[in-house]
Structure formats: C-alpha cells, structure tokens
Amino acid sequence: MKGAWILARKDFRSYFHSWTGVLLAVFFLVIAGLFFCLLVLNYARFSFEASKYPQEVIQSLGLTRFVYTSFFLNMAMILIFLVPLISMRAFSEEKKQQTLELLYTYPFSDFDIVWGKFWGMLQFFSFLLLPTAVYLGWIYFLGGRLDGGQVALGYVGFILLAASYLSLGLFVSALSENQVVSAVVTFGVLIVFWILDWVAGFADGLWAHFFSALSPLAHYRDFTLGILDFSHTVYFVFFQLYFLFLALRVIEARHWKTS
C-alpha cells in the first residue's frame, strides 16, 4: 500500500504541472459557481413569489432541497464531461510517453499502480470539490438555514458517484494508448449510464426496477435528498471495485505477453 500512496501523490501533483489540470480546475469551479449562484437567485425569486404557489409546494421546497439538491443533480451531469478529461491521462499518457514500462521497474505491485492511479485522480477531484464548501458560509452569511445532514450526504454521494466514474475511466485508459480515444469512450459509456436513468423514468414494472438498479444516477439521487440507504453505498463500492479489478487485469496482461 505504501507504493500506492507514493504513486497517488505523484499523480496528484502532476495535474498541477500541466495546463490540463489547471484548465479542468477552472472549468469545474466556474461551472459550479455559476450553477450555485443561479440556484440561490432562483430561490430568492421563489421566496418573494411564494404567495403564488400552493402551501404544500412551499413546504416541500425548503432552502436545502431547492438549492443543494438541484446543485448536486446538475453537477452530476458535469461529471460526464469532467471525468473523461481527468481519467484519460491515467495510463494513456504513460503509454504515449513510454514511461509505463519504466514504472514497472520500480518496486510497485500491479495493485499499487492501479490503486495509486485511482487515488491520485480521486484526490485531484476532491481538491476541486473543496472550494465549494465556501458556498455554505455564503448561505449562512445571507441568513439562510440549511439541513447540514442533507448537505453532508449530498457531498458523500457526489464523491461516491465521481469515484465510480473515475474507476470506469481508469479501466478505459488502461485499454488505450490514445488519450482522446480514452476520453471519448469513457464519455460514451457515461452517456449510456445517463440514458439508463432516463429510460427507467419511462419504463414500467420490473423494467423500471431493472434500469434503476443499473443506473448510477438512480442510486445517487437519494443522497441528494438526504436519504441514507445502505444499498446505494454497496452499489457504488462494488461499481468501483469491479472496474478497478478490470483495470488490474489489463495491467497484469503484460505478464501473459512476456511469458
């Protein structure tokens, strides 16, 4: 595990040694800030016009649900674009620069390499997410009252969703030597997962349950509502372990080629 942490730190720092990492940070923070500001402004307008809405609607749309639930759901869509750009360089760049074979000469196991790459990406994403905590202070400064538990669960769900997408992107990157191909394929698969959630909304009966069970967004939605369901956590953990296992098998395949 020590080797994995060493690689994770190395990969985390590498994002800030290139324009790609800086541009991704700017892209994420600008979009996140824009979404949040628009949601706060919409809530302010909704509050001023509250008399126009039925009482049950007003009671069901508190500040936390109106702003933060919508914020996390909107940012889930941004992940579809962000994750492929983060994960595309994990193995593809190493292969392109022919540094992957050099990495194999170090006393790192295949597990260390895969786990280190994954944690490096997740650390970078968590670093991008950290400044959004400032939004909480802004809300309290404006006199708003938030459900801290619901907001915390929203962040937990968002990190679990991002980690799942990153594990998928890591697997795709391990398959390809081209960063663009890796990003496009990852984006395409994430779109398919998004479509599964859309199809589940139109399906009936067993088909609706089937598509919902497969869709990451369906499992993520309860987190944004402040609902803690252990089955959703299990889903995301197994999702990550499955694609990390596949990435590990791809890396181990070099032993078969040389034997």
- Asked whether residue 257 is assigned to any structural domain, the reply reads no
Q: Write out the two tokens for 162.
A: 């991002």
pTM, entire model: 0.90
Decide: 73 and 39 in contact? Cβ < 8 Å.
Answer: no
Lowest mean pLDDT among 64-73, 187-196, 248-257: 248-257
Give the residue, 200 or 188, on which the prediction is more confident: 188
Overall number of domains in the chain: 1
Tell me the residue type at 184: V
- Cα Rg of the chain, angstroms: 20
Lowest mean pLDDT among 4-8, 33-37, 45-49, 127-131: 45-49
Residue 194: which domain range? 2-252
% pLDDT > 70, the chain: 88
- Asked whether residue 258 is assigned to any structural domain, the reply reads no
pLDDT bucket at 56, cuts 50 / 70 / 90:
low
What pLDDT, on the 0 to 100 scale, is given for residue 94?
A: 72
- Asked whether residue 96 is assigned to any structural domain, the reply reads yes
| Location of structure tokens 């404006």 | 142
pLDDT higher than threshold 90 for residue 168: yes
pLDDT higher than threshold 90 for residue 124: yes
Lowest mean pLDDT among 14-28, 138-152, 240-254: 138-152
